[in-house]
A and B are shown apart, each in its own frame.
Chain A
Amino acid sequence: SQQGEEDPQALSIQEGENATMNCSYKTSINNLQWYRQNSGRGLVHLILIRSNEREKHSGRLRVTLDTSKKSSSLLITASRAADTASYFCATSTGGTSYGKLTFGQGTILTVHP
C-alpha cells in the first residue's frame, strides 16, 4: 500500500499565483522528500525535511512537516509556467542506515501563462 497520499491529484493555477500541495503518510519517518517530474522525464529532488524539522525553505519552495498529523505541504510561491510538472512526496522510513523511500501518487500542477 502507498505510504504517502497526495492532495490534490491535480491543480491548475495562473502564473504568479501560489501553489500548495499536501502529503499525508501512515508510519513514522526518518525524513520526507519532495520530487518534481517533468512529462516523460526522470524525477528531480527538490527538498528534504527531517523528522525533527518543522519548516524548510529553498528559493520559492516552502515545505512544512507536522509529524503529529503525519502530513507535509509544499508551497510554490509566485509560480511560473515552467513549474508545470508532477510533484511527488516520498517518505524515508526504516531503522537501517540506508532506509527505504516510498512515494506518493503525485500532484499534477499546471501553471497557465
Chain B
Amino acid sequence: NAGVTQTPKFQVLKTGQSMTLQCAQDMNHEYMSWYRQDPGMGLRLIHYSVGAGITDQGEVPNGYNVSRSTTEDFPLRLLSAAPSQTSVYFCASSPPGGARTEAFFGQGTRLTVV
C-alpha cells in the first residue's frame, strides 16, 4: 500500500541550480497535482494533470515545469531555483472525478534554496 511516494524528502539547492522532484502513485489515478505549502498560506496549486500527456497550470506555475509520460509518474522540475521557491512541496493523486473527489497526498519534499 505505497499510495503516493515523493522523493527526495529533503533537498538543499543553490540559487540557479535545477532539480526534479519525483512523484509516483500506484493507485492507477488519472488526476495528479503538485502543491506548495508556505507558512500561513495553505496549499497552492502549481500544476496538475488529468492523464498521461495532459498537463495544465495551477495558481503559481512560474518557475516550474511538469510532464506526464505515464499514469504513475508526475515529476516537477525547477528550472533555475530561487530563494522564493523555498517551500514544502506536496504531490497528490485523485480517483476518477479529479478534484471533485478526495485527494491522496505524498509525505512532501522540504526544499531549501540558498
Closest CB-CB distance, B108 to chain A, in whole Å? 6
Are A43 and B98 interface neighbours, CB within 8 A? no
* With A42-B90, A43-B90: A98-B50 Cβ-Cβ less than 8 Å: yes
List the B residue with the shortest CB-CB distance to A105. Answer: B42
> Quick check: is B45 within 8 A (CB to CB) of the other chain?
yes
Query: Quick check: B99 and A100 within 8 Å, CB to CB?
Result: yes
Chain A nearest CB, measured from B89 CB (Å): 11
Q: How many residue-residue contacts, CB under 8 A, span A and B?
A: 70
Give residues of chain A (52-106) contacting chain B, Cβ–Cβ below 8 Å.
Answer: 88, 90, 92, 94, 96-106
B64 within 8 A of partner (CB): no
Do B50 and A43 have beta carbons less than 8 Å apart? no
The answer for the CA separation of A75 and B48 in the assembled complex, in Å, is 31
Whether B100 lies near A44 (C-beta < 8 A) is no
With the chains together, A33 CA to B108 CA distance in Å? 20
Answer whether residue B31 sits at the interface, using C-beta atoms and an 8 A cutoff. yes
Q: Would B43 and A103 count as touching, CB distance under 8 A?
A: yes
Q: How far is the CA of A103 from the CA of B45 in the complex (A)?
A: 9
A86 to chain B, nearest CB (A): 10
**Is A31 an interface residue, CB under 8 A from the partner?**
yes
Per a CB cutoff under 8 Å, which of B43, B99, B103, B107 touches A94?
B99
B99 and A92: CB pair below 8 A?
yes
Residue B105 at the chain A interface, CB threshold 8 Å = yes
Interface string of A1-15 (1 = CB under 8 A from B): 010100000000000
Contact A98 B31 (CB under 8 A): yes
User: Can you identify 28 A-B contacts, CB atoms within 8 angstroms?
Assistant: A4-B42, A31-B100, A35-B105, A41-B108, A42-B4, A42-B90, A43-B90, A43-B103, A45-B102, A48-B101, A92-B99, A92-B100, A94-B99, A98-B50, A98-B94, A98-B97, A98-B100, A99-B97, A99-B99, A100-B45, A100-B48, A100-B58, A101-B45, A101-B99, A103-B42, A103-B44, A104-B42, A105-B42
Chain B residues near A (Cβ < 8 Å): 4, 31, 33, 35, 40-45, 48, 50, 58-59, 90, 92, 94, 97-108
